[in-house]
A and B are shown apart, each in its own frame.
Chain A
Amino acid sequence: DGGITQSPKYLFRKEGQNVTLSCEQNLNHDAMYWYRQDPGQGLRLIYYSQIVNDFQKGDIAEGYSVSREKKESFPLTVTSAQKNPTAFYLCASRGTGSETQYFGPGTRLLVL
């Protein structure tokens, strides 16, 4: 099955804790993206990567970090510096030459 997977489905974070959200794709896409969605709002871009070993900050990168060591994987770490992390996190990927991004099922992050 080709697609994008995200794990876990739900994640609970304690105060001061770093947590990592997984995103994997087997679509052979070069570009990958992380978005945050808050209730009643559209998606906002956190980080993106156009190619392996390269990534750029999006509009709301503060308190987050990413890595892109493999083409298939683009994990997102929510650090303790992110003061309001409760949200729905969506990962997307895009093939070269395409303008369409395809999304994973999302991870819902809650703070204990």
Chain B
Amino acid sequence: EDKVVQSPLSLVVHEGDTVTLNCSYEVTNFRSLLWYKQEKKAPTFLFMLTSSGIEKKSGRLSSILDKKELFSILNITATQTGDSAVYLCAVPRVQGAQKLVFGQGTRLTINP
């Protein structure tokens, strides 16, 4: 059965700290892994990592994919209160239609 596991489930840090969120996966015929940020409503897309693109960076956020060890990390440096959100990791299932398997999410709280 396809599975995505995120850790930690919850994390509280102070503004300015650096955080690392983890996502491990077990899926048949892996193709890609997606990270989303969910504040109060709709998850918004952050990154997609594939076999040909195992590292992505956007401002203070970066993500890497380790295909051998089957995990990805999302790194946020110099955190701000606006980074407070639930971060979701998802992997598409192979058997058609790009059905996403989601992890439980990591709830990140940045205190001023």
A residues with CB within 8 A of B = 4, 31, 33, 35, 40-45, 48, 50, 56, 58, 90, 94, 99-106
Query: Bound complex: CA of A104 vs CA of B44, how far in Å?
Result: 9
> Sorted from nearest, which 10 A-B pairs have the closest CB atoms?
A42-B102, A103-B42, A105-B41, A43-B102, A105-B42, A42-B104, A103-B43, A99-B32, A106-B41, A50-B97
List 9 additional contacts besides A99-B32, A99-B92; criterion CB under 8 Å.
A40-B105, A42-B6, A42-B103, A43-B90, A50-B96, A99-B31, A99-B48, A100-B48, A106-B42
Q: Which of B9, B34, B103 contacts A100 (CB 8 A)?
A: B34
Q: Helix, strand, loop or mixed for chain A's interface? A: strand
Say yes or no: B45 contacts A45, CB within 8 Å: no
Q: B100 at interface (Cβ–Cβ under 8 A)?
A: yes
B residues within 8 Å of A by Cβ? 4, 6, 9, 31-32, 34, 36, 41-45, 48, 88, 90, 92, 96-100, 102-105
Contact of B98 with A94 in the complex, beta carbons under 8 Å: yes
User: With the chains together, A31 CA to B44 CA distance in Å?
Assistant: 18
> Are A40 and B98 within 8 A (Cβ)?
no
Residues of B within 8 A of A35 (CB): 102
Q: Could you say which of B9, B42, B45 has the most chain A C-beta atoms within 10 Å of its C-beta?
A: B42
Smallest distance from the beta carbon of B108 to chain A beta carbons, Å? 14
- Output the least CB separation between B8 and chain A (Å): 13
Would you call B42 and A45 a contact (CB within 8 A)? no
Instruction: Let me know if A42 and B98 touch, CB within 8 A.
Output: no
Give, as a whole number of angstroms, the nearest-CB distance from B22 to chain A.
14
A42 B34 Cβ-Cβ under 8 A: no
Contacts of A43 in B (CB 8 A): 43, 88, 90, 100, 102
A residues within 8 A CB of B103?
A: 42
| CB atoms of A103 and B44 under 8 A apart | yes
* Shortest distance between the CB of B45 and any CB in chain A (Å): 6
22 example contacts (A-B, Cβ-Cβ < 8 A) are as follows A33-B99, A40-B9, A40-B104, A42-B88, A42-B103, A42-B104, A45-B100, A48-B97, A48-B99, A50-B96, A50-B97, A56-B97, A99-B31, A99-B32, A99-B34, A99-B92, A101-B34, A102-B45, A103-B44, A104-B42, A105-B41, A105-B42
